């Protein structure tokens, strides 16, 4: 699809890209300054991170998520994805994973030689994590003499942007404890939660059996800096994992880039300006994502309500017939149709392991109207001047509003077929 987008752009056609999952707000000036000030730091640093940074991150998790974490539970790596891979290498066992799920999990499982048991969640229930479905899949797996040891998912969830309630988390962790499953909880969007209940981690109710993943890619828009975090369980197993990770990190990446570690010290530190910035970025993501969500609902498109991050996961199954009349049978066909006819680029649900016939798409709001760094800066400055969500969208988001209007036209086109 990206190739086709390039072709279309080269031919002078406008394309609205809702495919990228990259947060694009500017680097916070204090964090940028810390990076510059530490440009001379050129020595190898400890494989799992400098001790003061591990302590700062532990305190951050306590401050923001109310999770008691000790410094030796914190390990850092070049992105949470690398840490997840390193942990899959260190841990034993097969993986059980609800779908739809972030596409990289499948690749990481293959790369680390882990068997992956994918368990589809219920579209009628917004794909929420359903313990009964996991339980059913475990029983079926047991009949084939398989027993997954690792439960992998993201919360907040990519691709639906839903979050787990405390009650759901409790139910899930009771199940995991009962089945002796180690939870790999990808919480890279944890700080981008705008649900009033806040971010809930399985580590709140099952600290001994949960590994939490995080990093600076999303809430600080620093994906390219490659900075990830894993919080290990406060147990003997956690200590063994820390040792294993030290060996793996030592063999592969040696340490996280030295100046980035010092800049991360500021990003995770208790600075009121940085805290206000993280909050502002979350509010901007919320305004942009909720705007498009409200528009979709207005046109009658069904979509899980986003409570974090910047994704929407609508289904167009309601228009199966008119779509079939246009040669659109799968979510991939639908993605192509939208690109060719409405110049909107999205990711098909099948990318996330979903049934192609569910006709679901993932729309990311993170890129529109922030295509250049200048635009990203101007939007951020505008929001600081006037944080009213409606005016923020109206004054600063011509392209986002254009996408809403094109999606309305698309739905109107499909509805025409129902008319007598
Ligand atoms: C669910 C999920 N986890 C992890 C990542 C990447 O994190 P990192 O940049 O820390 O490797 C992404 C990025 O798209 C993501 O969507």
Task: State how far the Cα of 393 lies from the Cα of 312, in Å rounded to an integer.
Answer: 17
Ligand 1: atom nearest CA of 22 is 14
pLDDT greater than 90 at residue 2: no
Ligand 1: atom nearest CA of 21 is 14
| Paired sense of beta strands 228-231 and 347-348, if any | unpaired
Across the chain, mean pLDDT equals 97
Task: State how far the Cα of 223 lies from the Cα of 400, in Å rounded to an integer.
Answer: 23
> Is residue 188 lining ligand 1, measured as CB closer than 6 Å?
yes
The CATH class for the domain spanning 2-21+273-414 reads: alpha beta
Ligand 1: atom nearest CA of 223 is 9
pLDDT at 146: 86
pLDDT at 417: 84
Q: How far is CA 172 from the centre of its chain?
A: 20
Burial of residue 194 (number of CB atoms within 10 Å: 0-12, 13-18, 19+): buried
pLDDT greater than 70 at residue 170: yes
> Is residue 102 lining ligand 1, measured as CB closer than 6 Å?
yes
Q: Which residues have C-beta within 8 Å of that of residue 309, sequence separation ≥ 6? A: 156, 157, 158, 161, 189, 192, 218, 285, 289
- Look at phi and psi of residue 161 and say left if phi exceeds 0, alpha if psi is from -120 to 50, else beta: left
The CATH class for the domain spanning 41-269 reads: alpha beta
Q: Do the domains spanning 2-21+273-414 and 41-269 agree at the CATH topology level?
A: no
Beta bridge partners of 184: 152, 211
Domain boundaries, the chain: 2-21+273-414, 41-269
The pLDDT tens digits of the residues spanning 121-169 come to: 999 999 999 999 999 999 999 998 888 999 999 999 999 999 999 999 9
pLDDT greater than 70 at residue 359: yes
pLDDT greater than 80 at residue 418: no
Cα–Cα distances in angstroms (integers) from residue 382 to residues 27, 304, 310, 385, 390, in the given order:
16, 29, 19, 5, 13
Ligand 1: atom nearest CA of 157 is 1
Cα–Cα distances in angstroms (integers) from residue 193 to residues 25, 110, 244, 308, in the given order:
16, 30, 32, 4
pLDDT greater than 70 at residue 420: no
pTM confidence score: 0.97
| Site to substitute for ligand 1 among 188, 225, 227, most atoms within 8 A of C-beta | 188
Task: State how far the Cα of 336 lies from the Cα of 3, in Å rounded to an integer.
Answer: 12
| Site to substitute for ligand 1 among 98, 107, 157, 158, most atoms within 8 A of C-beta | 158
Q: Quote the ligand 1 centre to 218 CA distance (angstroms).
A: 8
Q: Quote the ligand 1 centre to 221 CA distance (angstroms).
A: 11
Task: State how far the Cα of 32 lies from the Cα of 262, in Å rounded to an integer.
Answer: 11
pLDDT greater than 70 at residue 99: yes
């Amino acid at each position: 699809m990206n190739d086709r987008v390039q072709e279309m752009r080269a031919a002078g056609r406008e394309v609205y890209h809702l495919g990228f999952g990259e947060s694009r707000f500017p680097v916070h000036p204090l964090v940028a300054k810390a990076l510059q000030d530490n440009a001379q730091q050129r020595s190898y640093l400890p494989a799992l991170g400098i001790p003061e940074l591990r302590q700062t991150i532990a305190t951050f998790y306590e401050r923001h998520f109310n999770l008691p974490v000790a410094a030796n539970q914190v390990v850092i790596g070049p992105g949470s994805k690398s840490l997840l891979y390193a942990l899959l290498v260190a841990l034993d066992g097969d993986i059980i994973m609800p779908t739809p799920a972030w596409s990289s999990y499948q690749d990481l499982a293959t790369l680390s030689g882990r068997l992956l048991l994918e368990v589809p969640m219920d579209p009628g229930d917004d794909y929420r994590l359903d313990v009964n479905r996991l339980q059913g899949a475990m029983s079926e797996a047991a009949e084939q003499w398989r027993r997954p040891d690792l439960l992998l998912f993201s919360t907040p969830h990519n691709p639906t942007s839903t979050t787990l309630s405390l009650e759901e988390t409790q139910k899930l962790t009771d199940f995991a404890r009962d089945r002796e499953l180690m939870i790999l909880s990808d919480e890279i969007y944890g700080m981008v939660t705008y649900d009033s209940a806040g971010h809930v981690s399985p580590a709140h109710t099952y600290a001994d059996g949960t590994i939490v993943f995080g990093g600076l890619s999303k809430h600080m828009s620093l994906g390219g800096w490659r900075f990830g975090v894993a919080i290990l369980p406060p147990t003997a197993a956690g200590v063994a994992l820390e040792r294993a990770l030290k060996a793996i990190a030592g063999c592969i990446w040696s340490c996280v880039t030295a100046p980035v570690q010092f800049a991360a010290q500021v990003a995770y530190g208790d600075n009121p300006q940085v805290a206000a910035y993280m909050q502002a970025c979350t509010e901007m993501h919320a305004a942009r994502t909720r705007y498009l969500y409200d528009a979709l609902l207005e046109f009658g498109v069904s979509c899980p309500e986003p409570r974090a991050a910047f994704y929407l996961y609508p289904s167009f199954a309601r228009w199966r017939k008119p779509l079939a009349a246009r040669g659109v049978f799968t979510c991939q066909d639908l993605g192509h149709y939208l690109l060719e006819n409405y110049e909107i680029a999205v990711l098909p649900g099948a990318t996330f392991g979903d049934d192609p016939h569910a006709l679901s798409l993932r729309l990311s709001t993170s890129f529109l109207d922030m295509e250049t760094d200048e635009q990203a800066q101007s939007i951020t400055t505008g929001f600081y001047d006037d944080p009213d969500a409606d005016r923020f969208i109206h004054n600063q988001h011509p392209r986002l509003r254009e996408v809403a209007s094109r999606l309305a036209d698309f739905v109107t086109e499909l509805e025409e077929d129902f008319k007598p």
